[in-house]
Structure 1
Amino acid sequence: MRRDHGGNIDAAKARFGGADWIDLSTGINRVPYPLARLAPEAWTGLPTAAAKEALIAAAQTAFGTQAPGVALAGAQQAIQLIPRLTPPGLARVLAPTYNEHAAALRAAGWEVEEVTSLRALAGADLAVVVNPNNPDGRVTSPEALRALGLQVRRMVVDESFADATPETSLAAKAGAKIIVLRSFGKFYGLAGLRLGFAFADAATVARLEDMVGPWPVSGPAIETGTRALLDRPWAEATTARLTAEAHRLDAIAAAAGWALVGGTALFRTYATPDALAAQERLARAQIWSRIFPYSPSWLRLGLPGGAREWDRLEKALSDAI
């Protein structure tokens, strides 16, 4: 079954026409990590064990954990695999959130309950929390998550949008009962590399490695990811820029009469009078946004990249007033 997602820019082009689109329907950094020339072996040879180990070490350093980890083709691959780690049982997902978690669990035979409070997750065989949450930016403290971990058989914490707020991360506590997922492509703006990580205990990581086989991540992704994850000056400068620009976007949206629902440094979600109408107004300016089937008012925007994109968005929103 095809599920509702951002990034469906082809559908926007087919419906509204035009070629010069700005895709703000995802939470992907539009000022990506600069690509450097790669060693020829990254393209011509199979990834080596040493290269894979270096990537995991870089990820552990970047994410502040010593827990065993596995590199995957995006956090999405982990979401697809985790339901198969154990026999199906009762899963509870803190909602509304990224819809692939519940969908992947249901497809694997789990009974899934989508709940709206952290307390309601207690008693589950598997609890899922996206933190910070997509799309409303809700943050659950690491202390609250650790307490929840004592009340469930196992917990998945999806930290795909946690790069700019490392204080929210539970990666250092990943283990047998807590699986922590991290994305690479969003913060580093290189989603096409398809790189993400799962951190847990050694047995769980070994099981995931068996499930994906010896080469789940390409040589170019390994070399680029290792380099980027160790580049702390870039990450710190990018966090500062994104944080400032998130406030800038909030001000532009407020001037258009939209109220902030929440968000992260990579996306903002607003309450609008009519989300579908707002999306269509932006689309006529060839700017694509994200709306949600469960809310008639919520619209999510990623942050523009560069002065030209900011000018186009500000004009489109001012014209909509």
Structure 2
Amino acid sequence: MQAISADLTGHGGRLDEAARLYPRAETPWLDLSTGINPHAWNRATPLDVDLRALPERTALRALEATAARYFGVDPARIAAVPGSEIALRLLPALGLPPIASVGPSYATHGQIAAYSLESPAPLAGCALLLANPNNPDGRLIAPEALRQLADRQAAQAGWLVVDEAFADAVPGSSLLPHLGADDPVIVLRSFGKFFGLAGLRLGFVIAPEAILARLRHLLGDWPVSNHAIACGRAAYADRNWITTTLAGLPSRAARLDALLERNGLHATGACPLFRLVETPEAKALFGRLARAGILVRAFADRPNWLRFGLPADDAAFARLDRALHRG
């Protein structure tokens, strides 16, 4: 049985590596490895973006103000970044105490952390880092419980860092409405997951102003592109698209649940953009799907886990169903 390449277990979305490792796979590839919304935000008319000019500070602040309204926070507490991945990797440079990550979670959490925990619990003198909703298992912690955890961290000279990359897809899950301006809490948000435009590389950090000042110093005068500024401003203001998307995601997730269940796989998770399956046949199943040109997410440290993103349409659902049924 072919081993799963480490290049396919660190992150999702590496179709080039999958195609190299499985040269006889069916094509075109169906990528279900990322948890990115397959129905991306799009405008009926193209955005007017001047890529010849450097991004203007007024346009950047307008983007941050638009995102702040969407998140329900003060614009003074938000900074745009070129993806929440970059924000994670910069956390150790922001003057925080040592970082303790709560696993299992997004791979980068463990890479930047000095300590690791198996459950979210207060840890004195540390910046406790967790994802909510969690990736890859979809665990969801109520905002009220996170608020209590933040208070307990603050009482012990600690911080709380919450990676809310998938929170847009789960209304009511965000900690942001429960925070004050000076709470020792940092929240990371991703634009690309929910809006389906991961290649745009846009995210946001919501934090006390002193943290944002350090972050802006590290990123410089042009942290994001003109294209990212224009797309972010338009998408966050598109209430019709947001409302329609939020209404449709649960039914698509339920359809994926049913498809997996009838093929003997029980799916778990509270985030409708992806589902986690635990099975002793995970390695064999990953290989079978890859040979069928379907990439799902495998995990080096959890060999019994596979994560499935949402198929985009009827044809993609049918293709996944056929590939699973062949076993």
TM-score calculated relative to the size of structure 1: 0.92
5+ unaligned residues in a row in structure 1: which ranges?
106-111
| 1:210 match | 217
**C-alpha RMSD of matched pairs (Å):** 1.8
- Asked if 1:248 is matched to 2:248, the reply is no
Conserved 8 A contact 2:99-2:126: yes
Query: Runs of 4 or more off by more than 6 Å in structure 1?
Result: none
**Equivalent residue, structure 1, for 2:205:** 198
- Which of residues 60, 65, 70 is equivalent to 1:62? 70
Cα distance between partner residues in 2 of 1:62 and 1:305: 26
1:62 aligned counterpart, secondary structure: helix
Matched, 1:167 2:167: no
Q: With structure 2 as the length reference, what TM-score do the two structures score?
A: 0.90
Q: Distance in 1 between matches of 2:251 and 2:65?
A: 30
Q: State the AA in 1 paired with 2:10.
A: D
Tell me, yes or no, if the aligned pair for 2:49 and 2:227 is still in contact at 8 Å. Answer: no
> In the alignment, what sits opposite 1:156?
161
- 2:74 and 2:250 mapped to 1: Cα distance? 27
State how 1:254-293 maps to structure 2 within 5 Å.
254-293=261-300
| Equivalent in the alignment of 1:108 | none
- Mapped to 1, the partners of 2:180 and 2:53 lie a distance apart of 32
Distance 1:262 1:170 in 2: 19
Deviations 1:15-66 (A, max 9, x none): 112441011100111111115412242x121111221111111111222222
Q: Structure 2: which amino acid aligns with 1:315?
A: R
Q: Equivalent residue of 1:186, what SS?
A: helix
Task: After TM superposition, give the deviation of residue 250 of structure 1 in Å.
Answer: 0.5
1:104 — aligned with what? 112
| Aligned partner (choices 8, 22, 38) of residue 30 of structure 2 | 22
Q: Which residue of 2 aligns with 1:126?
A: 127
Q: Of 112, 115, 122, which aligns to 2:117? A: 115
In the alignment, which residue of structure 2 is the partner of 1:180? Answer: 187
The answer as to 2:43 corresponding to 1:38 is no
Is the contact made by 2:92 and 2:99 (CA closer than 8 Å) also made in structure 1?
Answer: no
| TM-aligned CA deviation for residue 99 of structure 1 | 1.4
One-letter code aligned to 1:165: V
Contact 1:174 1:200 in 2 (8 A): no
State whether residues 259 and 270 of structure 1, in contact with CA within 8 Å, keep that contact through their aligned partners in structure 2: yes
Q: Which amino acid aligns with 1:34?
A: N
What residue is the counterpart of 2:3 in the other structure?
none
**Distance (Å, rounded) in 2 between the aligned partners of 1:9 and 1:46:** 32
Counterpart AA for 1:279: F
Q: How does 1:310-321 map to 2 (within 5 A)?
A: 310-320=317-327
CA shift for structure 1 position 165: 1.6
**Shift in Å, 1:263:** 4.5
One-letter code aligned to 1:180: V
Query: Which 5+ residue runs of structure 2 have no aligned equivalent?
Result: 1-5
For 1:71 and 1:310, the matched residues in 2 are separated by: 35
CA contact (8 A) 1:130 1:159 kept: yes
2:85 equivalent to 1:76:
yes
Deviations 1:111-167 (A, max 9, x none): x22212222x43242100100000111111111111111222111100000002231
- Using the aligned pairs only, state the percent identity: 41
Partner of 1:146: 147
